[in-house]
Structure 1
Amino acid sequence: MDQQLAPPAAAGDPAPDLPPDRPRAIRALPTAGDRVFRGVLRGAGSAVLVVMGLIAAFLVYRAGTAIKATGWGFLTTQDWTPGTHRFGVGSMLPNGILIAVIALLIAVPVSLAAALYISEYAPERLRRPLISLVDLMAAVPSIVYGLWGLFFLQPALLGTLAWVSRHLGFLPFLTVRFGDAATSYTSSTLIAGVVVSLMVIPIVTSLSREVFSQAPQGEREGAHALGGTRWGMIRTVVLPFGRGGVIGAVMLGFGRAMGETIAVALIISPVYTVAWHVLERGGNSIPAMIALRYSEAGDFNLSALMAAGLVLFLVTLVVNVLASVVISRSRSGAVTAD
C-alpha cells in the first residue's frame, strides 16, 4: 500500500504547528526512609521555631508588669531602681554593645589570621594540633576566663592603659576624667572587652577555618596556574568564597559577646550611665546586671529583670536576621564555582 507522505514545506509557507519542546517531568516516589528523614528534618526545624516562640512568650508574660509600669521609657532610662519605678536599659544596652564591639575589634583580625594560617599555611603535622587547640579554647568555661582576666590580665594591663590615656587622651573615648591613679583604669569596659574577645576568638576561628578549607580546589589551582602567588590565590579565591561564612561567624561571635555574663560580672564595676570613656572604671551589660541582681529580686524586680532579658533577646534576634540578609547577598561558594 502506498503511503501518503506530506509534501515538503515551501520556503514561504508557515511552519507547521508542533508541540512545544519541554523537558519530561521525572517523578520518583519517595521511599519509607525518605519520608522518615523528611519528617525528622521538618520536626527539628519546627521545634526550633516553637522553642523560640515559647521563650519569647514567656519573657513577654513575665515582663508585662514592669513594661506596663514604665512603657517605652524602659528603653531610655539610665537607672535601675525598680522600687521607685525608675529603671531601664538606656545605659546597659549601649554598654553591652560597646563591650561586644571592642571584643570583635580584637577578635576578628586575630581569628581571620589564625584561620588562614591553619587552613593555608600551616604544615600538615602542625595543622591538627592547632585545630584541637582552638577547639579546646572554645571549651574553657567562661568563669575561668573571668578569673584569669580579673587576677592576671587586669593588673598586667594597667600600665599600658595609663600610657594610652596619657598619649592618646586627646581622643574623647580614651580620656580618663578621674585622675591617673591605678584604680581609675580597673574594672573598665576595655578590660571586659579584651576578656570577652578571648571567648569569641575560638568561635570565629573555627567557623572561618572550616569555610576557608572548602574553597574549590580547581579555582585554587587555576589561580596558581595563572601565575598568582599564594596570597594572591587567597585574596581572589579563598576570601571571596568564604565571605558569607565569615560574616556569619562574626555575627555569631557578636551574639556570644552580647550574652556573656559571668566574665563581665566578675570584671566590670557596675554603673548605670553610658560608659563612653572605655578606659575609665565602670560599665555594665544586661546579662551581668541580671546575674548580679537575680538572687535578691522580688516579684516586681524579677519582672524588671525579665524585661531586660526580653530586650536582649530581641536585639540578638534582630542581629541574626540582619546577618542572614547580609549572608544571602554575599558571594557564596555556588557563585564562585560557576
Structure 2
Amino acid sequence: MAVQSDASEIADAVGPYDRARALNAFKVGDVTFYWITRISAISVLLILGGIILSLIVGAWPAMKQFGFEFLWTRRWAPSADPPVLGALGPIYGTLVTSFVAMLIAIPVGLGIAIFLTELCPQWLRRPIGIAIELLAGIPSIIYGMWGFFVLGPFLAYTFQPFMINLCAGIPVLQDIFAGPPSYLSLFNAALILAIMVLPFITAISVDVFKTVPPVLKEAAYGVGCTTWEVVRSVVIPYTRVGVIGGIMLALGRALGETMAVTFIIGNSFRISSSIFAPGTTISAAIASEFQESDGLHQSSLILLGLLLFVLTFFVLAAARLMLMRLETKAGK
C-alpha cells in the first residue's frame, strides 16, 4: 500500500509538469508555423517588388530617352543614328494574337468541358482527359516547331488562300484577311496560342462544372429542359466565377508566351490590318533581340518587358474586379 501511495504521489507530481511541457511544445510549434507561413507570404511580395524594381532600373535610360512616345512610336530601328525605338508594333501583336487565340480557345474549351461533364460516355472520359493533360505538358518549343513545319504550310497553301478568296470584296473582312499567304503570321501564332491555352480552359471548366449539385440539374431536367438549356441556365451561371478565372489564367499564358510565338510570328515590327501578315509580340521581340542588344537597345527591350508586366497586371486586376462584381451581384 505504501508503494502504491508513493507511485500515485509521483504521478500527481509529474503529471502537471508533463502537461505544461506539452503545452509549451504546442505553443512553440504553433508560433514557428505562423512565422514560417508569414515569411513565405512576405517573400512573394519581396520577390515581386524586386522584379518590378529591377525592370524599372534597367528600363530607366529608355524611359528618359523616349518618354511616353515610346508607347505609340511604330518604328523599331536600333541601328539608326540616333536609335528610333517604339513599342507600338509589339503591343499591337501581343493584343491581336491573344485576342484571336482566346476567340478560338474559349468556345472550343468550354465545348469540350461541357461534353466531358454532360454528354461524354463514361468509357471515353478518361482518354480525353489524359489527352488534355498531355497537351498542357508539351513544351512550348515543340508547339513552335510543329507550327513552323506542319501547321504553317497547311495554313499558307490551304486555309489562308481560301479565306482570302472568300472575303475578297467584303468590307472590313477583306482587310482583316488580306494576302499574301505566309508561313509566318499573326494568325499562325494566335492558332498555336489557342491550342496551348486550351488545356487550361478545359481542365478548370471541367473541375468547376463537376461542383454543380446534381439536384439542380435533375430539377431542370424534371421540368423538361434540354441539355443545352440546363447548361445555359444552370451550369454556366452556377460556375461562372470559376470559368472566368480559368479564362483569365489562359489569357495570362497567352500574353506571355515566348518560344512558340517566336518560331512562327515572323518577328516583324510592322503593323498591318491583316492577321495573315507577319508581326511580333513583346515576348517574341525580347527573345529574338536581347542576346545581341546593348545600351539603349537593351534598355528598350527591358522597357518592353516592363510594359508586358503592367499589361498583364491590368488584365488580371480587371478580371479580379469582374469576379468581385459577379460575387456581389450573386450575393444580392
- Tell me, yes or no, whether TM beats 0.5: yes
Q: 1:226 to 1:47 in 2, by over 3 A?
A: farther
Q: Does 1:132 align with 2:126?
A: no
Give 1:204's match in structure 2, choosing from 183, 198, 201: 201
The residue type equivalent to 2:71 in the other structure is: L
Whether the aligned pair in 2 keeps the contact of 1:62 and 1:306 (CA below 8 Å) is yes
Q: What is aligned with 2:53?
A: 57
The aligned residue for residue 167 of structure 1 is 166
CA contact (8 A) 2:164 2:177 kept: no
Q: Give the aligned CA root-mean-square deviation in angstroms.
A: 2.4
The residue that corresponds to 2:91 in the other structure is 93
Runs of 4+ in 1 over 4 A off after TM superposition: 31-41, 176-180
1:111 to 109, 118, 127: 109
Tell me the CA shift for residue 85 of structure 1.
3.1
TM-score by length of 2: 0.84
Cα deviation for residue 65 of structure 1 reads 0.9
Contact 1:80/1:272, CA 8 A, preserved across alignment? yes
Distance in structure 1 (CA, Å) of the matches to 2:39 and 2:220: 43
Distance 1:52 1:82, change over 3 A: same
Cα separation, 2, equivalents of 1:116 and 1:285: 32
Q: Relative to 1, partners in 2 of residues 1:245 and 1:35: Cα closer, same or farther, differing over 3 Å?
A: farther
Alignment coverage as a number of residue pairs: 302
Cα contact 1:173–1:277 (8 A) shared by 2: no
Decide which of 270, 285, 298 is 1:273's aligned counterpart.
Answer: 270
Tell me the percent identity. 33
Residue number in structure 2 paired with 1:242: 239
Structure 2 CA distance for partners of 1:176 and 1:203, relative to 1, 3 Å: closer
User: Counterpart of 2:321?
Assistant: 325
Give the match's secondary structure for 1:295. helix
Q: CA deviation at 1:136?
A: 1.0
Where structure 1 has 5 or more consecutive residues not aligned to the other structure, the ranges are: 1-30
What do residues 154-185 of structure 1 show as CA deviations (whole Å, max 9, x unaligned)?
111222211211121334354389865xxx43
For the Cα contact (< 8 Å) 2:75–2:269, is it kept in 1? yes
1:137 Cα shift?
Answer: 0.4
- 2-side partners of 1:113 and 1:185: how far apart? 30
Separation in structure 1 between the aligned mates of residue 71 and residue 179 of structure 2, nearest angstrom? 32
Question: 5+ residue gaps in structure 2?
Answer: 1-25
Change in 2 beyond 3 A, CA 1:112/1:310: same
Q: What is the CA-CA distance between 1:242 and the residue it aligns to?
A: 1.4
As a proportion of its length, which structure holds more helix? 2
State whether residues 172 and 277 of structure 1, in contact with CA within 8 Å, keep that contact through their aligned partners in structure 2: no
State how 1:11-90 maps to structure 2 within 5 Å.
Answer: 32=27, 39-83=35-79, 84-90=82-88
CA contact (8 A) 1:192 1:264 kept: yes
Offset at 1:34?
Answer: 6.1
Q: Which amino acid aligns with 1:195?
A: I
Q: Is the 8 A contact 2:179 2:276 kept in 1?
A: no
Q: Does 1:262 align with 2:259?
A: yes
